[in-house]
């Protein structure tokens, strides 16, 4: 087991950076959704719009919190982080099927890449799994 005085390994550091970048991206989408909700000309489907907006806000907060927990070497944050990253695979797949391969492929690569960083041997040691 490592102590907190040990430097964070590069694999875990990059996983945290990518999680925080994802949180910022989803946060920007949430801000845009809030603006779209506030400036909508019709209120038909308002409940659905607010649910989508709330989901985006919750996703951004969750990604940021998981990144912060991993930065503090909280082992319990690894599994939910991996689950969120693996959720990018079906999202990317359906983007590819819908003709947005330019966005779907990088999203899938991001999900696999961050998951790989989180299960790398150096990350395992830093989180106390080995």
Non-local (6+) Cβ contacts of 40 within 8 A are: 46, 49
pLDDT tens digits, one per residue of 92-118: 999 999 999 999 999 999 999 999 999
How many CB atoms sit inside 10 A of residue 123's CB? 25
Structurally, how many domains does the chain consist of? 1
Q: Are 115 and 13 in contact (CB under 8 A)?
A: no
Domain membership flag for residue 2: no
Domain membership flag for residue 5: no
The whole domain housing 48 covers 10-127
pTM: 0.91
pLDDT, residue 1, reads 53
Domain membership flag for residue 108: yes
How high is the mean pLDDT in each 10-residue block of the chain (130 residues)?
73 98 98 95 88 97 98 97 97 97 97 98 93
Domain membership flag for residue 41: yes
Dihedral pair phi/psi, residue 44, rounded to 5°: -70, 125
CA–CA separation, 112 and 19 (whole Å): 13
Domain membership flag for residue 102: yes
Domain membership flag for residue 1: no
Domain membership flag for residue 119: yes
Domain membership flag for residue 4: no
């Amino acid at each position: 087991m490592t102590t907190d005085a040990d430097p964070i390994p590069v694999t875990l550091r990059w996983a945290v950076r990518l999680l925080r970048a994802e949180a910022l991206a989803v946060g920007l989408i949430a801000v845009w959704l809030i603006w779209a909700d506030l400036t909508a000309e019709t209120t038909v489907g308002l409940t659905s719009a607010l649910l989508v907006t709330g989901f985006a806000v919750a996703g951004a907060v969750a990604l940021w919190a998981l990144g912060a927990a991993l930065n503090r070497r909280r082992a319990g944050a690894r599994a939910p982080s991996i689950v969120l990253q693996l959720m990018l695979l079906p999202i990317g797949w359906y983007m590819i099927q819908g003709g947005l391969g330019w966005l779907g492929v990088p999203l899938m690569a991001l999900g696999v890449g961050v998951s790989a960083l989180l299960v790398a041997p150096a990350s395992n040691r830093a989180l106390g799994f080995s």
